[in-house]
């Protein structure tokens, strides 16, 4: 078996658009999708605004998974960043803060987390990130992520799933830079079916992406827009079903185009 379902979700510190802090609500949104791997952005650990809890651990416990967390921001005992959750065998390979404008102006530092997940005997590299809001800053961060310490590292072998909140809609330079090396799963599944993810209540922007590199079969892509997901966070989650085991047999030399 080489099939898995991955979900990427900016959970907004589990604070919904109704201002309610409710990790259990976020967990219900995720659990309803039945993912094997969960990539989360905007996770609080030990922060006063979210009751001092470890949101990565709390969500993992509610979902029957284990959490790997990377803080992009640390202030004493308060941490904030990204996480990968799964019950599959996993090795955390690299975590770190990305370059950006935070050392010059008051903006949020950004980070990334790279883990290798065993999916039915196939190793899949998962890189989860949350980029800055300005295209120039995003390009700086992508230069690092596409470089020899991250996605260009010899150990970052295909298949690779690069996920997160990129703050970069189609058409802008950061998106085009990624599209030159990766497959945008929403566009691959069917450009006319590609759905926006932000803001959650009435989404108009497609800034949360799942990118794929290497031979793999995309079996389904869905932006989860339910009554609960529309209030649980200011973003909607994106869910993708991928089969890496039979990719070569089905698609010798590349990906199968769907929905074109």
Residue 255 lies in a domain: no
Residue 20 lies in a domain: yes
Cβ-Cβ contacts under 8 Å for 242 (sequence gap 6 or more): 3, 4, 5, 6, 159, 161, 212, 216, 217, 218, 219
Residue 258 lies in a domain: no
Q: Check pLDDT > 70 for residue 94.
A: yes
| pLDDT digits 0-9 by tens, 24-59 | 999 999 999 999 999 999 999 999 999 999 999 999
Nearest by Cα to 183 from 193, 175, 195, 172: 175
Q: Check pLDDT > 90 for residue 138.
A: yes
**Number of domains within the chain:** 1
Residue 148 lies in a domain: yes
Write down the pTM of the prediction: 0.92
| pLDDT digits 0-9 by tens, 155-201 | 999 999 999 999 999 999 999 999 999 999 999 987 668 999 999 98
Residue 119 lies in a domain: yes
Domain hosting 63: range is: 3-250
Structural contact between residues 86 and 65, judged by C-beta atoms closer than 8 angstroms: yes
Residue 257 lies in a domain: no
Residue 165 lies in a domain: yes
Nearest by Cα to 165 from 39, 66, 75: 39
User: Cα-Cα-Cα-Cα dihedral of 226, 132, 68, 77, to 10°?
Assistant: -110
Residue 68 lies in a domain: yes
Residue recorded with tokens 């295909």: 158
Q: What is the CATH number of the domain that holds 86?
A: 3.60.10.10
């Amino acid at each position: 078996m080489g099939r898995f379902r991955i979900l990427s979700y900016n959970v907004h510190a589990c604070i919904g658009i109704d201002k309610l802090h409710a990790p259990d609500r976020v967990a219900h949104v995720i659990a309803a999708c039945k993912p094997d791997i969960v990539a989360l952005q905007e996770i609080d650990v030990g922060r006063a605004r979210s009751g001092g809890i470890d949101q990565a651990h709390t969500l993992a416990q509610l979902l029957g998974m284990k959490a790997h967390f990377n803080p992009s921001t640390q202030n004493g005992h308060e941490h904030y960043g990204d996480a990968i959750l799964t019950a599959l065998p996993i090795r955390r390979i690299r975590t770190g803060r990305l370059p950006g404008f935070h050392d010059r102006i008051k903006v949020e530092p950004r980070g990334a987390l790279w883990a290798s997940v065993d999916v039915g005997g196939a190793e899949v590299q998962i890189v989860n990130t949350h980029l800055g809001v300005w295209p120039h800053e995003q390009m700086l961060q992508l230069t690092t992520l596409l470089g020899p310490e991250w996605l260009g590292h010899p150990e970052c072998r295909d298949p690779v799933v690069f996920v997160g909140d990129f703050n970069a809609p189609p058409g802008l330079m950061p998106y085009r830079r990624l599209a030159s090396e990766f497959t945008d799963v929403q566009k691959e599944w069917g450009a006319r079916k590609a759905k926006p993810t932000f803001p959650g209540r009435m989404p108009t922007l497609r800034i949360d992406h799942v990118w794929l590199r290497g031979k793999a079969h995309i079996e389904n892509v869905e932006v989860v827009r339910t009554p609960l997901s529309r209030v649980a966070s200011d973003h909607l989650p994106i869910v993708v079903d991928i089969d890496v085991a039979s990719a070569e047999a089905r698609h010798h030399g590349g990906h199968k185009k769907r929905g074109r």
